[in-house]
Structure 1
């Protein structure tokens, strides 16, 4: 016998689109800016340097639009509470020494915080992984502790800036785990975040970062399906990014999958 279901349709399965619509009601997803070096060095073949004056204007633009720059730790904590509206994640890759000398005063002037992704295997060294361009010094222990004292988050960029997708399992473990423990010893606190060198990751690398005890990891693109907070996307911000370009990047962030979605 076939049951008559014409009068009362069966209970529908949850529509995954409904949860997306509920998230959308909370407003636009937040975005994360990816910086590197902050200095007046004119030689910049990799487009990774902004001057302190340009950074100041970029942060002024954020503030004028009711936005506040925060570390990834603050951003994700706010997202968990549902209070992330109006926040912008600020990250600085590679741990250049000029963060303490040039970026930190600008951030403090605006009352912003940021996450600095440091290479503990190169502390006090230089950017030897870049074959072109000037040699730039990296943060030493004193510089790292100065950033922490100012309210910045210190997180790991691996030990030595390797493409982790091309390493052996043993080397991957060393780069991911040892860097976390070394930075914890310097800062005196847990290291929650990781950043993939060059933005390169795959499922193996993301899984290693998760196993190491990190709570999130930043890339550039969203990464493989299922990575979630272990492949948080970011938008590169450089010297040419004036107010008009920043506004465009903000508007296009969600369209191109470069924003951190609400939970």
Structure 2
């Protein structure tokens, strides 16, 4: 199949808190980016949608489930008729109640927002329950994060949830096996590559952040932006995370 760029957003707001600022975009920038997709002939499609005979297909995704997805991003997407996917951290939802878990970084969606988004054609995916580094968890805790988030979402929106994105983009062969065993059909990493496939458990996406100029955004959408620095950092930190996990395992055996 043809390669499909998959864009990865987080927050869309003018005044993000420090913890989310780098991976946020302003509402104005987001609107300009969506307009550029239209101007350049891109056709946003669903993650699982067909791309045969679709001119310049592209996918739009959002991680974490910030409240501004509902207030800022959804109206812009609706004005262009663009589909999108939001990967929700269930324990971070504003009205998670007894299921609250982890430390939300900003104002988060409510269950009503999630249901409304699903009813309006936004695909809902999982992003774990408490947003941990999944590759650092023991097997039992890992399974709980994956299964709990899927079941909560399916109960909340009354639709199957078959896709997820790894918090921080971190995964490993062990994590990917657990994702498959937890009932997901696909899972998304960062990688900052254009996806040559949209199946499996390590589908790459392309980061859009606050420092992304409109010219850079066009290169990202066209698959021409190389992300040299980001890829080098990702590879280096993968080695660090693997070493941390193996060290803890060795300490437990001792």
TM-score when normalising by structure 1:
0.76
For structure 1, list consecutive stretches of 5 or more residues without a partner in the other structure: 1-22, 258-263
Equivalent position of 1:15 in the other structure: none
| Rounded Cα–Cα distance in structure 1 between residues aligned with 2:14 and 2:125 | 25
Equivalent position of 2:165 in the other structure: 195
| Offset, 1:221 | 1.7
Judged with a 3 Å threshold, the aligned counterparts in structure 2 of structure 1 residues 127 and 252 are, in CA distance, closer, same or farther, namely farther
Equivalent position of 1:53 in the other structure: 28
TM-score when normalising by structure 2:
0.78
Bigger helix share: 2
Judged with a 3 Å threshold, the aligned counterparts in structure 2 of structure 1 residues 253 and 217 are, in CA distance, closer, same or farther, namely farther
Alignment equivalent of 1:40, drawn from 9, 14, 29:
14
For structure 2, list consecutive stretches of 5 or more residues without a partner in the other structure: 229-254
Alignment equivalent of 2:206, drawn from 206, 224, 235:
235
Equivalent position of 1:65 in the other structure: 40
| Offset, 1:256 | 7.4
| Rounded Cα–Cα distance in structure 1 between residues aligned with 2:183 and 2:53 | 25
Larger Rg: 1
Is residue 179 from structure 1 mapped to residue 149 from structure 2 by the alignment? Answer: yes
| Rounded Cα–Cα distance in structure 1 between residues aligned with 2:16 and 2:225 | 32
| Rounded Cα–Cα distance in structure 2 between residues aligned with 1:255 and 1:58 | 19
Equivalence map 1:1-263=2 (5 Å): 29-41=3-15, 43-44=17-18, 46=20, 47-72=22-47, 76-79=48-51, 82-124=52-94, 129=103, 135-221=105-191, 229-252=200-223
| Rounded Cα–Cα distance in structure 2 between residues aligned with 1:68 and 1:204 | 35
CA contact (8 A) 1:235 1:253 kept: no
